[in-house]
Amino acid sequence: MDLSAINPIVLIASLMVASTPILLAAIGELVVEKSGVLNLGVEGMMITGAICGFAMAVETGSPALGFIGAALGGAALSLIFAFLTQVLLSNQVATGLALTLFGLGFSALIGQSYIGVKPPTSATLILGLDAMVFVGIGIIAVTWWVLKYTRVGLILRAVGENHDAAHALGYKVVLIRTAAIAFGGACAGLGGAYLSLIRVPQWTEGMTSGAGWIALAIVVFASWKPWRVLLGAYLFGGITVLQLNLQAAGVKIPVEYLSMSPYLITIIVLVIMSADRTRTALNAPAMLGRSFHASN
Amino acid sequence: MIRLEKRKQPSQVWSYLTPILAVIATMIAGGIMFWILGKNPFEAIRIIFWDPLFNTQFASYSRPQLLVKAAPLILIAIGLSLGFRAGVWNIGAEGQYVIGAICGAAVGLAFYPMESFIIFPLMVLAGAFGGFLWAMIPALLKIAFRTNEILVSLLLVYVADQLLASMALSTLRNPDGGGFPGSRNLQQYPSAANPELIAGTGAHWGVVAALIAVIFAYILLAKHKLGFQIKLAGQSPRAAHFAGVNTSVIIVVCLGLSGLLAGLAGLFEVAGPAGQISIDFASNYGFTAIIVAFLGRLHPVGILLAGLLMALTYIGGELAQLMLGIPLAAIQAFQGMLLFFLLAMDVLTDYRPVIGKAKVV
């Protein structure tokens, strides 16, 4: 075993790359949950974004257009969820699961002809980092600012805390939530495309392998606070990179046990966060997961 | 302008009609999908839903497959439906299925090459216990720390997948396998095999277990106090609380039973149709069973029918792949669509669409 082969600067750069997909998906889901909606379809939207972005980038030769395509693909899929839960008042947990199941099948279907194809390479800015890493941090900063200091953010939070009161004040609850869901879908799509275009970079079926679920866990870890999403994503990215480096360094732990560590650590973090009664209870949006029907 | 008016009572008629309408709508939407893929939609739908049962050439092979595929789906979905009724969301059945298979197979392999009638029953117990324990992780974490069981049970699927790979590559690898991954084939080890009980039907012990589970769940929900408490906890958590329902017990029972049944399904699969622990043993039954549970309206008899229908789409999907070159992923998308349509139409059970403006009360 040779741990000296692990270079700290390279490690930090690869940590940022490893955490970006989850960071993007988690900040999108944070906005959705702040509006009072629980969308469990993050995994499905991510993988749809991964293939839409990949296909777009390969066909046009432009990674930037690929990312736009991914955001549109993720948002389009999330609008199915929005229609079902907001207009047809379906159960949010079940609909989110349906979104994930459908997204996995749908992406595999489109992806048939892209297996083994190489995507166009993205330009790097510094330390081998590409623009999307900074776009991700930028989205977090903007989300934080909008939620905290703007009228739009206040309305969004009001809808998430008490939809009946927000409705009585004249805000369009369904419309606001639909917009939040579409934003979440677009962010998840970007996260997925980051995997297929930059991090891996190629298309394989089911390539998100639980990243969407980890993003959901990170929103809980962050107690619905934007900057803590960054922290959570970096923590997770750090563990992923560390276990990959340990695998490469030839530690005497079987590869499979190292590969399961990110999932196990996510569970442990979830347990620690939910054990603290006061904090999670105070920060979770009060209407999370509840349907809104105007005549109620 | 169409608006929705809440019904005082959920409509009985619509709750029976919506699954049927959802299947029809999925056939239409799926037909359009196949048409976009450049296939004849009518032929594709016929191959998926009709040919596996009635085609003179294929039916003799595919008819027994119906029970083989339906048994794990029904077993898992019955367990999940109890939890879904109580508002306990176990979506990690896939992981419990894998762990059940590993535990059961490990017990069987430990006895190899001894022959005894006791080995298979011991494997069944080990499989059930493995699935149960795996499901106890989210259950106990939820009770002790109120950790979200959806996320924990789902994340454990990925952990189980890695364990499966490790078992297939090292711990349970066949020592006589010439270095290939995968365990010994249990089908070739009579004391541990889960054989076809009646030749030509596909019925193995898993099918028997699935039928028992359906009956058991029916009695539990219709006649037993615990079943009533499960339903109450889901429909009105506050009322359940005041009625003295112990939430922790409900969580343990729901997650425990669904884990146990998923573990059983895994054991019957590994000792029967699959034959061995291999890297690609996990087959998505745990996720498809979620669709089965909802399509069956969380009712045991409904799940029985829904499991058979979903098994049909699996077999029909394989047939369509063979005959029309429709990728298997299309069938997965097709199954996902079915759940969408079902959830979308469910609105008619609880709400009445009314044309015109709302009256001011």
- Residues B162-177: pLDDT tens digits? 999 998 888 888 888 7
Chain A 7-46, CB below 8 Å of chain B: which residues? 40
Compare B57 and A23 and report the one with higher pLDDT. A23
Contacts B148 to A, Cβ<8 Å: 220, 270, 274
> From CA B195, how far away is CA B273, in angstroms rounded?
8
- pLDDT digits over B203-213, tens only? 889 899 999 99
Task: Specify if B35 maps to a domain.
Answer: no
- pLDDT digits over B129-140, tens only? 999 999 999 999
- pLDDT digits over B75-103, tens only? 999 999 999 999 899 999 999 999 999 99
> From CA B240, how far away is CA B87, in angstroms rounded?
12
> Residues B96, B141: one domain?
yes
Query: How many Å is the Cα radius of gyration of chain A?
Result: 19
pLDDT of residue A1: 46
Interface test with A, best of B21, B159, B297, B326 (most A CBs within 10 A): B159
Contacts A284 to B, Cβ<8 Å: none
pLDDT of residue B157: 93
- Closest-CA distance of chain A to residue B114, Å: 31
3-state class (DSSP) for residue B353:
strand
Rounded to 5 degrees, φ, ψ at A126 are -130, 150
Closest by CA position to A171, among listed A183, A154, A148: A154
> Residues B207, B250: one domain?
yes
Contact (Cβ atoms closer than 8 angstroms) between residue B272 and residue B127: no
Write out the two tokens for A163.
């939809």
Contact A105 B333 (CB under 8 A): yes
Q: Is B147 left (phi over 0), alpha (psi -120 to 50) or beta?
A: beta
Closest by CA position to A123, among listed A189, A70, A57, A48: A57
Residues in chain A with pLDDT < 70? 1-6, 125-128, 278-282, 295-296
> Residues B92, B154: one domain?
yes
Task: Specify if B53 maps to a domain.
Answer: no
Write out the two tokens for B93.
């059945």
Q: Is A293 left (phi over 0), alpha (psi -120 to 50) or beta?
A: beta
Compare B57 and A217 and report the one with higher pLDDT. A217
Nearest CA in chain A to B156: A263
The complex scores an ipTM of 0.87
3-state class (DSSP) for residue B246:
coil
Q: Is B326 left (phi over 0), alpha (psi -120 to 50) or beta?
A: beta
Measured from the Cβ of residue B324, the count of other Cβ atoms closer than 10 Å reads 17
CATH of the domain at B234: 1.10.3470
Residue in B141, B150, B343 nearest the CB of A98? B343
> From CA B284, how far away is CA B333, in angstroms rounded?
13
In the predicted model, what is the mean pLDDT of residues B110-133? 90
Residue B14: partners with Cβ closer than 8 Å, 6 or more residues away = B348, B349
> Residues B228, B91: one domain?
yes
Q: How many helices and strands, by DSSP H and E, does chain B display?
A: 15, 2
Contacts B155 to A, Cβ<8 Å: 210, 213-214, 217, 263, 266-267
Half-sphere exposure of B280 (CA within 13 A, CB side): 0
> From CA A52, how far away is CA A54, in angstroms rounded?
5
> Residues B317, B333: one domain?
no
**The domain containing residue B21 runs over which residues?**
1-28+326-361
Q: At what angle do helices A211-221 and A42-60 cross, to 10 degrees?
A: 120
> Residues B194, B331: one domain?
no
* CA A241 to chain centroid: 18
Residue in B145, B165, B343 nearest the CB of A91? B343
Contacts A254 to B, Cβ<8 Å: 166, 170
> Residues B175, B307: one domain?
yes
For chain A, which residues make up each domain, given as ranges?
3-114+128-283
The 3-state secondary structure of B234-245, one letter per residue: HHCHHHHHHCCC
Instruction: Name the residue with tokens 């906005």.
Output: A31
> Residues B151, B279: one domain?
yes
> From CA A43, how far away is CA A210, in angstroms rounded?
7
Contact B333 A106 (CB under 8 A): yes
> Residues B212, B270: one domain?
yes
Instruction: Check residue A206 and report its DSSP letter.
Output: T
> From CA A197, how far away is CA A120, in angstroms rounded?
8
> Residues B312, B351: one domain?
no
Nearest CA in chain A to B167: A256
pLDDT at B13 over 50: yes
| Residue A102 at interface with chain B, using a CB cutoff of 8 Å | yes
Contact (Cβ atoms closer than 8 angstroms) between residue B244 and residue B238: no
Chain A 121-150, CB below 8 Å of chain B: which residues? none
Q: State the amino acid at position B243 in one-letter form.
A: A
Ranges A119-133, B290-304, B344-358, most confident: B290-304
Residue A23: partners with Cβ closer than 8 Å, 6 or more residues away = A136, A137, A140, A191, A229, A230, A233, A234, A237
Residue in A80, A90, A109 nearest the CB of B346? A90
Write out the two tokens for A130.
């590409």
> From CA A215, how far away is CA A85, in angstroms rounded?
21
Rounded to 5 degrees, φ, ψ at A240 are -60, -50
DSSP states of A83-134:
IIIIIS---HHHHHHHHHHHHHHHHHHHHGGGTTPPPPPPPEEETTEEHHHH
Instruction: Name the residue with tokens 């360094």.
Output: A249
Task: Specify if B37 maps to a domain.
Answer: no
Residue in A101, A259, A266 nearest the CB of B339? A101
The 3-state secondary structure of B129-165, one letter per residue: HHHHHHHHHHHHHHHHHCCCHHHHHHHHHHHHHHHHH
- Could you tell me the end-to-end alpha-carbon distance of chain B, in angstroms, rounded to an integer? 19
pLDDT of residue B5: 80
Contacts B165 to A, Cβ<8 Å: 256
Mean per-residue pLDDT over chain B, rounded: 88
> Residues B332, B316: one domain?
no
Closest by CA position to B296, among listed B287, B315, B283, B309: B309
CATH class as words, domain A3-114+128-283: mainly alpha
Contacts A106 to B, Cβ<8 Å: 329, 333, 336
- Closest-CA distance of chain B to residue A159, Å: 21
> Residues B231, B312: one domain?
yes
Please confirm whether the linkage preceding A63 is cis (ω < 30° from 0): no
Task: Specify if B39 maps to a domain.
Answer: no
Nearest CA in chain A to B284: A101
Nearest CA in chain A to B144: A275
**Interchain CB contacts (distance < 8 Å): A and B:** 139
Tell me how many domains chain B contains: 2
Contact A267 B152 (CB under 8 A): yes
Task: Specify if B42 maps to a domain.
Answer: no
- Could you tell me the end-to-end alpha-carbon distance of chain A, in angstroms, rounded to an integer? 64
Chain A 243-262, CB below 8 Å of chain B: which residues? 254, 256-257, 259-260
Outline where chain A has alpha helix (H).
8-34, 42-60, 63-82, 92-111, 131-149, 151-161, 163-168, 173-194, 211-221, 226-249, 255-259, 261-275, 277-283
In DSSP terms, B244 is beta-bridged to none
Chain A 193-252, CB below 8 Å of chain B: which residues? 205, 209-210, 213-214, 216-217, 220
> CB burial class (10 A; 0-12, 13-18, 19+) of residue B169?
middle
Write out the two tokens for A62.
């432009």
pLDDT of residue A194: 93
